[in-house]
Amino acid sequence: MSAYGAIKAPAGSTGPLPVLSYTLPGDLVLTTHAVQGADADPELIDYLFGIFNKEIEEGKSYPQEDQMTRDQFVAYFFNSTTIVAIVSPASVDVGSLKMLEDARAGRSWEECTGGVYYIKPNYPGRSSHNCNAGFIVPPSQRGRKIGNALAESFLVYAPKLGYKSSVFNLVYSNNVASLRLWDKLGFTRAGLIPKAGRLKTGPNGTEEYVDAVIVYKSFE
């Protein structure tokens, strides 16, 4: 859901989205897999739901303030196309990991899920060709440059889904690593919203107002 309610995605590619792979530090490989709507394994949704509510509770990255119910999380994160990234040993045959369950290889979602993000329209109707994305990397997987790989895969998947550009509305200024990554990948800092977020980034987790950057990139 967005401020405009449910938004229909633009017509995209007719074929399935490809599985992409990225080499990670520590002799690991990351593969990315597309999930349509709420077709994801319920246990995966439960795992990600818990992580996302902890992000909300920490109050430093997403604008939501109140904890979500599971149904609200599914509507927010799984209502269009969701990309699930799986971490595997580099010794595996990446070409054999064509399905999400193949990449999971019987492991728990907690063990193998490297990250996840949604891709959906940022605006309705005549502006629905501009997409938005929201990313989660579980705390246990951070420090492996997974965020870089997810961002690079986004630049492949979003155009294939029929989007013409991407607009990130609220990249808070405290998220220095994210801003540097988008700069590196050719995004433009299209605007600044002063005091856009009331985040728990002050001393001892106190709230303070933080600026946000609007980040844009054309796929054409």
Architecture of domain 20-166: 3-Layer(aba) Sandwich (3.40)
Q: Closest Cα to residue 25, out of 117, 119, 146?
A: 146
Q: Using 50, 70 and 90 to split pLDDT, how confident is the model at 10?
A: confident
Residue 160 has which token pair?
A: 């294939």
Dump pLDDT digits (tens) for 65-114: 999 999 999 999 998 899 999 999 999 988 888 889 999 999 999 999 99
Angle at 165 between CA 161 and CA 167, to 5 degrees: 115
pLDDT(1) > 80: no
pTM of the model: 0.93
Helix (H, G, I), strand (E, B) or coil at 85: strand
DSSP state of 50: H
Question: In this structure, are residues 196 and 171 in contact, taking their beta carbons and an 8 Å threshold?
Answer: no
Helix (H, G, I), strand (E, B) or coil at 174: coil
Dump pLDDT digits (tens) for 119-177: 999 999 999 999 999 999 999 999 999 999 999 999 999 999 999 999 999 999 999 99
Q: Closest Cα to residue 136, out of 212, 76, 72, 197?
A: 76
